Amino acid sequence: MNPISVRKMNRQDIEQVLIIETHCFAIPWTKGAFEKELKENKLARYVVAEVNENVVAYGGMWLIIDEGHITNIAVHPEYQGQKIGKEIVLGLMEVAKEANLLRLTLEVRKSNLIAQQLYRGMGFIISGIRPGYYHDNGEDAIIMWKDL
């Protein structure tokens, strides 16, 4: 496997991130949504993972007081199963530590057992359920937390 590098996301990455979005989500974010996050949302932090200078995954979070709320993580289907999702989470954890955050939280689909296993393996603990959280199909979200 080729080396993976994780870095902060910039506006030039948006086109490649949109390709990942359309492969991974029933209701993908728009170009405008990402531009707004990067340009206007002072609380937002995003990272991308590159393989051979191609963006193959990304993750984002919002810094809220002393907590990081992970908003989205996605890995292009051709690169899933190669521990790139773990690298994205580690990249977000590094950003969180630089910002002196104390905890991280996220929601994950109840059916996404692979992601849940990844998060548990990285020290996230299930703390609750958000019923009907996902708009596309009304699926419940599992709420997970990790102390840093």
Positions marked catalytic: 107, 119
Say how many CA atoms lie within 13 Å of 43 toward its Cβ: 12
Query: CB neighbours (10 Å) of residue 99?
Result: 12
Query: CB neighbours (10 Å) of residue 1?
Result: 8
DSSP H helices, 31-143, are: 31-39, 84-98, 113-121
Q: Decide: 85 and 118 in contact? Cβ < 8 Å.
A: yes
What does R_g of the chain's alpha carbons equal in angstroms?
15
Q: Could you tell me which of 43, 40, 56 has the C-alpha nearest to residue 7?
A: 56
